[in-house]
Chain A
Amino acid sequence: EPEVTQTPSHQVTQMGQEVILRCVPISNHLYFYWYRQILGQKVEFLVSFYNNEISEKSEIFDDQFSVERPDGSNFTLKIRSTKLEDSAMYFCAGENRGRGNIQYFGAGTRLSVL
């Protein structure tokens, strides 16, 4: 069964450094998302991406964040200058155009900002 894969599984970085989180969505998916989950809290929407453009972003997704799908397969989330409060699990999700709004999630990248 196809899966959404995310790398790395754990990223440790120093405050102020840039990080790139990578995702390979399921091949026939059309819509892509990034969510984050701070430890012990609920999953929060960051950004949605469709047809090579951002379709919606949350207040969290400020100008320190960017997304790309550079080669038609990988989907990346970049944080330009990490802050302590960026420490969280980051989940990539994908969705096909079908019944409903079912999104399939990767296992996540744990980002630890020191």
Chain B
Amino acid sequence: GESVGLHLPTLSVQEGDNSIINCAYSNSASDYFIWYKQESGKGPQFIIDIRSNMDKRQGQRVTVLLNKTVKHLSLQIAATQPGDSAVYFCAEGGAAGNKLTFGGGTRVLVKP
């Protein structure tokens, strides 16, 4: 069935280094993707999104890359900080009003 999933359950990264979180999706018709960050005891927090007509989008210290050929999505965090420690989810969506289908999550641990 259709699914959105993650390759790495836990990523340990040194403070100041860059982090890369990966996500695979199986529905080739997917046209919209979002990355969320979830800190302990909180709800998912929007980070960045990308439409399928783009292959890269940049935000503040974050970049999302989309490779439609291999149905792969990644989130890059530049100069990772302790406050970046959280679980990161990719999610597949669509037009406004559509449900989000979440992947399994990757935990990022930032070492000082």
User: Interface of A with B (CB < 8 Å)?
Assistant: 4, 30-31, 33, 35, 41-45, 48, 50, 55-56, 58, 91, 93, 95-98, 100-108
Contact = CB atoms under 8 A, between A and B. Distances in A.
B34 A101 contact: yes
Contact of B89 (A43, A50, A55, A97): A43
Interface residues of B, number: 26
Interface in B25-43: 32, 34, 36, 41-43
A105 B34 CA distance: 13
A95 to B, nearest CB: 6
Contacts of A108: 42-43
Interface in B13-66: 32, 34, 36, 41-46, 49, 51
Interface string B90-104: 010111111111111
B93 A100 contact: yes
30 contacts: A4-B43, A33-B99, A41-B104, A42-B89, A42-B102, A42-B105, A43-B44, A43-B89, A45-B99, A45-B100, A48-B97, A48-B99, A50-B97, A56-B99, A58-B99, A91-B44, A97-B97, A100-B32, A100-B34, A100-B93, A101-B34, A101-B95, A102-B49, A103-B46, A103-B100, A105-B43, A105-B44, A107-B41, A107-B42, A108-B43
A45 B42 contact: no
A11 to B, nearest CB: 15
